[in-house]
Amino acid sequence: MADTCPHFDYLLVIPRLQVQNANALSSPLTHGFPAMSAFVGLMWALERKVHDAGLDLQFNATAVVAHRHEEQITKGGFVHSLRLTRNPINRDGSTAAIVEEGRIHLDISLVFGVRSATLRADGSSAEAEKIAHQVRDILSQMRIAGGSVIPSTAPPRKQRPYIVSMIDEDERAGLFDQIKLRLLPGFVLVDRTDLLEQRHQALQALNPEASKLDAWLSLSRINWTYTSGEAEQKAQWENDRKGLGWIVPIPVGYGALGELQAPGSVAHVRDERTHFRFVESLYSIGEWISPHRLHSAEQLLWYADSAPEEWRYRCRNDYPLTPTDDFS
């Protein structure tokens, strides 16, 4: 794969999808929204189904805009718990084991960076509109992060999928400005690994043995410090979240735990025709921001960065923090 966003000529936007019971447990350590790896996997599965339908589309990157979310948890107290379903009893009448499954209802829009040899350069032909609706029809029959797509309650005009040509470099920025405004109100997740690096350096200045795990845990919580007053200044409590925005710990992919295993050599795998490898989750820091803060489509999209020599599969996003961004 690549370490920068793969090239795309068109943006395919499928707005206002309503998803029921998606997976809210994005990793063993995080919850609250499906992992971006789930949406990258959805993109690849959708590409295969689109090819089976005879459509010439190559999906290179994807993004998700969250308009509304409703995690299925108990409310009313400081400690929240997942709302779990009771499994059917076993054949002998005993109670079946409960596997905790975090569920979340979502109202989202999906954006795909695609290439195609059959679409017109202007992206506004009747053929492009037809293809966009075909892709939406295929997607509506698929699972999204384990959840089911149900009829949306949004107005029909807001549910229409569309394709925008991004071939003309001079018009690219203006076209993206129109797209991101149509995605409001909502929030998009961007990669803030840079904040993780900054926090790691700050912790190492205080403790040379501080690890990136310490930095990740530090950014995953609100850290309060007590500042004693001097002279006429009052003592006060201060936290380290000022100016950081809505940052969250996120999983960004998987790292291998061992060698690649031959197909069929590991018992109880889903696919005995594909190579297998045990992996663990990779973590970083993300930030939820409004789409209008983005300056280019590349800052919006996520893509796969595979490094076989390092035994790593990682989802990446090219969101840089520019001087024009203001998160105060």
Same domain, 182 and 207: no
Whether 275 and 153 map to the same domain: the answer is: no
Q: Please report the pLDDT score of residue 59 as a whole number.
A: 95
**Same structural domain for residues 236 and 308?**
yes
Q: Which domain holds residue 140?
A: 10-73+101-191
Q: How far apart are CA 19 and CA 147, in angstroms?
A: 6
Query: Residue 173: which residues within 8 A CB-CB, separation 6 or more?
Result: 295, 296
Give the pLDDT of residue 259: 86
Assigned domain for 85 exists: no
Higher pLDDT pick, 229 / 169: 169
Res 124: pLDDT: 56
pLDDT tens per residue, range 206-227: 999 999 999 999 999 888 888 7
- Mean pLDDT throughout 157-176? 88
Counted domains in the chain: 2
Residues 128 and 164 in one domain: yes
* Domain end point (choices 169, 191, 213): 191
**Does residue 311 form part of some domain?**
yes
Residues 274, 238 share a domain: yes
Q: What is the rounded CA–CA span in Å between residue 212 and residue 215? A: 5
The more confident residue out of 263 and 101 is 263
Cα–Cα distance, 11 to 3 (Å, whole number):
20
Q: What is the mean pLDDT of residues 115-143?
A: 83
Q: What is the mean pLDDT of residues 242-265?
A: 89
Pairing of strands 246-256, 236-239: unpaired
Average pLDDT, the chain: 86
Return the pLDDT at 287.
Answer: 94
Q: Are residues 158 and 274 in the same domain?
A: no
Determine the average pLDDT of the residues in 197-210.
91
CA distance 302 to 320: 13
- The confidence score (pLDDT) of residue 197 equals 92
User: In the predicted model, is pLDDT for residue 2 greater than 60?
Assistant: no
Same domain, 237 and 205: yes
What letter represents residue 67's amino acid? H
Whether the pLDDT of residue 146 is over 50: the answer is yes
Rounded distance between C-alpha atoms, residue 328 and residue 314, angstroms:
30
The mean pLDDT of 254-274, rounded to a whole number, is: 88
266 and 224 share one domain? yes
Decide if 80 is inside a domain: no
Is the sign of the CA dihedral 141, 146, 151, 155 positive or negative? negative
Is the pLDDT score of 8 beyond 80? yes
Helix axes 126-139, 36-52, angle to 10 degrees: 120
pLDDT of residue 162: 92
In a domain, 297, yes or no: no
Q: CA of 71: how far to CAs of 51, 185, 246, 285, in Å?
A: 34, 19, 18, 20
Q: Say if residue 325's pLDDT is above 80.
A: no
Which of 191, 224, 259 terminates a domain? The answer is 191
Mean pLDDT of the region 48-55: 92
As a three-state string, the secondary structure of the chain is CCCCCCCCCEEEEEEEEEEEEEECCCCCCCCCCCCHHHHHHHHHHHHHHHHHCCCCCEEEEEEEEEEEEEECECCCCCCCCECCCCCCCCCCCCCCCCCCCCEEEEEEEEEEEEECCCCCCCCCCHHHHHHHHHHHHHHCCCEECCEEEECCCCCHHHCCCEEEECCCHHHHHHHHHHHHHHCCCCEEEEECHHHHHHHHHHHHHHCCCCCHHHHHHHHCCCCEEEECCCCCCCCEEEECCCCCCEEEEEEEEEEECCCCECCCCCCCCCCCCCCECCEEEEEEEEEEECHHHCCCHHHHCEEEEEEHHHCEEEEEECCCCCCCCCCC
**Where does the pLDDT of residue 80 fall: very low under 50, low under 70, confident under 90, or very high at 90 and above?**
confident
Model confidence at 9: pLDDT above 50: yes
**Is residue 176 pLDDT above 50, yes or no?**
yes
Last residue of a domain, one of 168, 191, 214: 191
| pLDDT of residue 261 exceeding 50 | yes
What mean pLDDT do residues 88-104 have?
79
The pLDDT of residue 328:
28
